[in-house]
């Protein structure tokens, strides 16, 4: 038998007052006659529901302390935001030796204080070329792997004005994948927007969140190289990147679930073709034209891509150039062009190699294998060339050094038998 509600209990009292017998009332409400008598007896004695629980704050006599703290916080915040229940709980535990949980404080606040005012969010349509938004999606897809479906990550970037989207598939979400997917997305979008809005993932934001977060060092260098500003969303604010949140609908339109692909490359080609079809069919709400037409009109407002996109890297350091034209990076010594003597260069750890980049122009000054067994890597070309306005060219190699190089380049079977004699002859 279901529990009687307040309206049914009142009905029992009203019918009893009208003289209706208990059997008829019980039959009408679908309960037993004993239940009717029970509720009438409780009403006659004005019994209090013993199941009602009091709050721990009330049992400890902390109501006044809570009210005083809450009022002081409201005056301090002046309606900018409501007082923090978490801060109230910390205050009670620290100052009043409260032993209850955070949830017990939250229940008390909800029962005794007015709910905070709701704040709407502002809808903004960004101008052409001003903003792109980026995010990840995770899928389990069949791409011909012998072990069956594998977990893949879809990097999604959309131009906020035209809604032109690019999806790049990746097997990982590490820093190298983050930069590579940006490169591929920008190629598909045909340029770089002034601002890229991202979530607070570690490959984008090193610590903190939102406007107060610290942008990941590697991503900051990547953004500087391509010329865009990183704009991280506030936590728990999906409305601040609504265009990428809309990507759920785009993925639904792609309908990749349950499909079979020959390889990751096949999946990428199929996705690019599908997105092109969707762009021609979907309407851009900002212009009223198709997404494809709006994107073509937005192209002149995008920053042009450099001739060579930055190689994806997962580590970057600013290194001083020593007097022997060397820098230190990842426990190894690399030689850079002599014109950088006394200046600083940027060392980037890429997949399989190290790039030394001019911090002013972004030009790759030198490149070496990464994680090599050798601890000193020298490119003799770094010591060649004419003097610059700031640095003189190094002295040329002497006869002994040139002879050593010549001997080293000869096959072992063609080298002179008496190397020492040959070198001593040169040294005279």
User: Quick check: 191 and 182 in contact, CB under 8 A?
Assistant: no
What's the CATH code of the domain at 159?
3.30.420.10
Q: Does pLDDT of 60 surpass 60?
A: yes
- Return the top range by mean pLDDT from 60-64, 186-190, 203-207, 412-416: 186-190
Q: Which domain holds residue 149?
A: 131-301
Task: Render pLDDT for 359-380 as a digit per residue (tens, 0 to 9).
Answer: 988 899 999 999 999 999 999 9
Residue 35 lies in a domain: yes
145-149, 344-348, 416-420 — which is least confidently predicted?
416-420
Percent of the chain surpassing pLDDT 70: 88
Specify the pLDDT at position 238.
65
Same structural domain for residues 172 and 233?
yes
Same structural domain for residues 92 and 156?
no
Number of domains in the chain: 5
Specify the pLDDT at position 239.
61
Same structural domain for residues 278 and 166?
yes
Same structural domain for residues 206 and 296?
yes
**Residue-averaged pLDDT of the chain:** 88
Same structural domain for residues 98 and 246?
no
Residue 74 lies in a domain: yes
Q: Does pLDDT of 311 surpass 80?
A: yes
Same structural domain for residues 292 and 359?
no
- Return the top range by mean pLDDT from 51-55, 113-117, 222-226, 252-256: 222-226
Task: Render pLDDT for 116-175 as a digit per residue (tens, 0 to 9).
Answer: 877 777 777 899 999 999 999 888 999 988 888 999 999 999 999 999 999 999 999 999
Residue 307 lies in a domain: no
Same structural domain for residues 146 and 276?
yes
Confidence of residue 14 (pLDDT cuts 50, 70, 90): confident
């Amino acid at each position: 038998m279901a529990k009687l509600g307040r309206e049914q209990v009142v009905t029992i009292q009203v019918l009893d007052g009208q003289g209706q017998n208990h059997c008829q009332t019980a039959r009408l409400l679908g309960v037993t006659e004993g239940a009717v008598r029970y509720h009438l007896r409780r009403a006659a004695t004005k019994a209090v529901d013993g199941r009602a629980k009091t709050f721990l704050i009330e049992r400890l006599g902390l109501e006044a302390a809570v009210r005083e703290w809450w009022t002081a916080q409201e005056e301090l915040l002046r309606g900018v935001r409501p007082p923090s229940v978490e801060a109230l709980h910390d205050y009670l535990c620290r100052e009043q030796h409260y032993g209850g949980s955070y949830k017990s404080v939250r229940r008390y606040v909800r029962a005794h204080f007015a709910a905070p005012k709701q704040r709407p969010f502002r809808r903004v349509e960004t101008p052409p070329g001003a903003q792109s938004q980026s995010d990840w999606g995770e899928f389990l897809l069949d791409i011909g792997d012998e072990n069956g479906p594998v977990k893949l990550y879809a990097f999604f970037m959309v131009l906020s004005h035209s809604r032109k989207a690019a999806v790049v598939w990746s097997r990982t979400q590490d820093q190298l994948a983050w930069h590579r997917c940006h490169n591929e997305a920008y190629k598909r979008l045909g340029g770089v927007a002034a601002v890229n809005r991202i979530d607070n993932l570690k490959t984008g934001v090193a610590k903190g969140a939102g406007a107060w977060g610290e942008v990941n060092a590697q991503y900051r260098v990547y953004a500087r190289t391509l010329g865009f500003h990183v704009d991280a969303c506030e936590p728990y604010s999906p409305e601040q990147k609504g265009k990428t949140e809309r990507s759920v609908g785009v993925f639904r339109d792609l309908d990749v679930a349950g499909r079979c692909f020959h390889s990751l490359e096949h999946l990428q080609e199929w996705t690019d073709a599908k997105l092109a079809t969707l762009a021609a069919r979907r309407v851009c709400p900002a212009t009223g034209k198709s997404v494809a037409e709006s994107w073509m009109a937005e192209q002149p407002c995008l920053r042009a891509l450099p001739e060579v996109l930055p190689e994806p890297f997962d580590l970057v350091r600013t290194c001083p150039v020593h007097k022997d034209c060397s820098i230190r990076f990842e426990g190894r010594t690399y030689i850079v062009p002599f014109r950088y003597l006394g200046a600083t260069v940027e060392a980037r750890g890429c997949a399989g190699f190290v790039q030394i980049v001019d911090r002013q122009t972004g030009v790759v000054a030198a490149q070496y294998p990464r994680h090599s067994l050798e601890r000193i890597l020298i490119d003799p070309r770094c010591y060649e060339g004419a003097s610059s306005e700031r640095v003189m060219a190094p002295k040329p190699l002497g006869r002994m050094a040139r002879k050593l190089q010549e001997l080293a380049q000869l096959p072992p079977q063609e080298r002179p038998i008496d190397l020492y004699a040959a070198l001593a002859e040169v040294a005279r």
